[in-house]
Amino acid sequence: MKTFFQNTLILLIILFLVSCKAVELRPDTAPASPPPSSSSSTPVSSSPPRIIAFEANPSFVPEGSSLTLNWKTDNASEVHISGIGRVSPSGQQTITSDKDNIILTASNNSGFPPVTKILPRQMVVFSTKAPPGVPLNTPVYILADQNKLRNYKRTYQFKPVNRVSDFGRLHPANPQIRTRPVGVVRVKPLPQAMTATSVIHDHRSNLSAPQLLSPRNQSRINHYPRNLTLRWKPVANARSYIVEIDCLNCCARGKWCSETGKTYKRIPSLSSTQYKFQFIGAQAGRWRVQAVDRNGKAGKQSQWYNFRFTR
């Protein structure tokens, strides 16, 4: 009897072990393998594109000359440069200068907006000193970002070519010269260095300032209507005259119109030595005259003569 129970117990143990092994080997209980990765999907950047560097070498170039662009970006899948097209994320390329700004745009598929950097092209002529290798007062294009441009302005003290408003500040050789703007100054490469004297010679005449006769300076006038005749002496070799009339309080309270950058009245191409007009009100005014030669160049201006209508 004892042997029967021992054999039964051994059989049950064997059956239990066989059952556990079968459960372990069932295929539906094996862990699932990870899905194969798709090799065709495009990687998406999680960072915005950056422009690390974008500059022109040299920064100072005459019109039509060659220069080399250098650029370096980060996290950018597409990079474009205006006038060139799509380029590599980093590199360099030689181009010929023209009159347009140069813009670099970098982007990727991260959802961040594209970034841009501009090299603004500014035509300048140097005033007191020039960079190494550039002759004084040579018109050149500067291609640099705003930080470098501000540094160049402080270091080399240049003037924009088409924004010259005071020829006396163009060159330190004539610091006392003060003239009014006479239109756009178009600077071309010259065989010799350009100076303030040569620029003024192109736009100003040697005619002397007219001598004003009436009304005399500081005149007080009380007749109405406010009709006034301006008279001056003729200037030798003058073909015509320019009369300028200024008004106090007409453009801004307490200021002459000329002090606000405006002109109250300017009458060019007068062939006679007098001008009749009607003033605007019982207030102060002033006038001056400038002679023009046969080549259409204006000479020196007379001083202002003040007058005041009392009614």
How far does the chain reach from its first CA to its final CA, in angstroms?
150
Cβ atoms of 211 and 302 within 8 Å: the answer is yes
Cβ atoms of 64 and 36 within 8 Å: the answer is no
Cβ atoms of 51 and 89 within 8 Å: the answer is no
If we measure between CA atoms, which residue out of 111, 93, 104 comes closest to residue 51? Answer: 104
Q: What is the pLDDT of residue 83?
A: 80
Q: What is the pLDDT of residue 204?
A: 58
Cβ atoms of 66 and 97 within 8 Å: the answer is yes
Q: What is the CATH number of domain 50-119?
A: 2.60.40
Contacts of 110 (CB under 8 A, 6+ apart): 44, 45, 46, 47, 48, 49, 75
Q: How far apart are CA 69 and CA 92, in angstroms?
A: 5
Q: What is the CATH number of domain 212-309?
A: 2.60.40.10
Q: What is the pLDDT of residue 143?
A: 83
Q: What is the pLDDT of residue 141?
A: 81
- Tell me the pLDDT tens digit for each residue of 223-250: 999 999 999 999 999 999 999 999 999 9
Q: What is the pLDDT of residue 263?
A: 86
Q: What is the pLDDT of residue 3?
A: 64
- Tell me the pLDDT tens digit for each residue of 95-112: 876 667 788 999 998 788
Q: What is the pLDDT of residue 82?
A: 85
Q: What is the pLDDT of residue 309?
A: 95
Q: What is the pLDDT of residue 210?
A: 95
The upper half-sphere exposure of residue 307, i.e. CA atoms within 13 Å in the direction of its Cβ, equals 26
Structure tokens at 33: 């393998």
Q: How far apart are CA 174 and CA 159, in angstroms?
A: 15
The ranges assigned to domains in the chain are 50-119, 123-203, 212-309
Burial 245-255 (b: 16+ CB within 10 A, else e): bbbbebbeeee
φ and ψ at 15, to 5 degrees?
-60, -40
Q: How far apart are CA 161 and CA 140, in angstroms?
A: 9
Q: How far apart are CA 122 and CA 140, in angstroms?
A: 8
Identify the segments of the chain with pLDDT beneath 50.
22-42, 163-203
